[in-house]
Amino acid sequence: MKLSDGFDARRLRPSERKSWGRRLIVAIAALLAVVGVLLLVAGGASLAGYGGSLGALAARDAALTALVLGLVLIAIAMLLWRWCRSRLRRSSELSLSPGLMKRRD
């Protein structure tokens, strides 16, 4: 016979921590990805011959640098985003059996 009078499962769970720091890091990762895509597009356009209006990116070396920097920023942003999202989604609650709290009279 299971006695559940006065038992509150919410007391066992820790209080939820604020995750604003990780959310801020996810937002920064998204901004890094956007800047990376812009650099990637600008470097690719300059290498394709459409870089006359880009000014400093008209040189081949500058275009290659922008292209590589864009790829690196996208890779860093993806790694940072995946790391933070996995930490945000990790459950810190108790893993209770679904049938544990069933009432048996």
Q: How far apart are CA 77 and CA 31, in angstroms?
A: 8
Domain ranges of the chain: 27-88
CB 86 within 8 A of CB 50: no
Q: In this structure, which amino acid lies at residue 35?
A: V
Q: What is the pLDDT of residues 39-94, one digit of tens each?
A: 999 888 888 887 676 777 778 888 899 999 999 999 999 999 998 888 777 665 55
Q: What is the pTM of this model?
A: 0.66
**In terms of Cα–Cα distance, which of 30, 29, 69 is closest to 46?**
69
The DSSP code for 96 is -
- Within 10 Å of residue 66's Cβ, how many Cβ atoms? 24
Please give the structure tokens belonging to residue 44.
Answer: 């690719």
